[in-house]
Structure 1
Amino acid sequence: ELNSEIEKIEQNILEVKTEIDKYRGQGANSDNQRKRILKDLENRLEKTNAKADSYEQHYQDSIKVLNELKSGIEQLFVKIGCNTSSAVEILGSNGVTDSNMIQHLGMIEQRVNEILQMFAATQNGGVQALQAFLGSNTDADLPMSLNSISVAGASVDGTNSGSKEHKKLSVEPPTLNDIIADEDTE
């Protein structure tokens, strides 16, 4: 009977040892699983930080380009004679800003269309057609800014500025596909 109890106790000891080993294994597996999860989270954090850095760099590049565009728009605005008192009334005297950039571009577009119409008038009838277009009778009535504008090899007064023949002026805005392709390359 004592042997039988010893065998039962040894059997219980063996079962307890097996269970201890089992829980140790689970603890090790659990520890390995925690380490794996931690490593995965660290990798995700690293990728997220890299993406945030990339977005920050893209943002800084965009700000730089935007500032260069504002400078170019301001120079073009002044060069083609858009900087009138009525323009200052509409746009303010702060120059080109993020909030009024589109309005500046609209005024530039309008002025360029006027210049192209004046150019077309000079091509079809010289200074007299331009004076009729502008409603003036003398060369002195022509806007001063027109004296220095030259388009496609001919000056606005109808004289040829170096080329043997007048070239046909053609202005084509970019297509939607061109714009999308430019955005895709960024």
Structure 2
Amino acid sequence: MIKILVTGVFASGKTSLVSSLKSELENAGKKVAVFSEVARDCPLDLNLEQNPVSTSWLVMRQVRNEIELVDGNYDFIIFDRGIPDIIAHTKYTLKDNQEEQWFYDELEKLGKASLNNFHYVFLSKRSDKFIIEIDGMRLNDINYQKNLEEIHRNYLDKQSVEFTTLVEKNSDRLGQILSLII
């Protein structure tokens, strides 16, 4: 069973890519499970209002998804977002709040442990070609998106884990991923 994480800022084509990847793998006769982003189910404030309680909810749900026993007959398990996504939002909202730095430090350690459980980590970067769809979850704020992406990338670089930065177009991304995992 191969575990794949597709991570990156909001409105960077991740969910569409994960859907295409799942279809392509299934068409090739592979059994695939997908875990969707946990933020969509969160009953608490997110984005600019995210706080340690909402972050804890997100992390607990994500970790539960990552460790839940999944039918061992799957060839691939794909995660649409992961702990690095949560870390980027947390770092942004905490800014330089020293009183809660311990929380962030522990979250970073948990994130590294999570990343080590994936066979492949793919970073989906923002692009002006991906329109931010206002859907009650996403903010129509390109500067916020760019800041999150910088935090996200810096976090991945700091962890010294192997990850692949995806090219811009999803059709090309699909080929890029398939060339690595099959």
Q: TM-score range by the shorter chain?
A: under 0.3
Q: Which has the higher helix share?
A: 1
Relative contact order (C-alpha < 8 Å, sep 6+): which is higher? 2
TM-score by length of 2: 0.24
* TM-score scaled by length of structure 1: 0.24
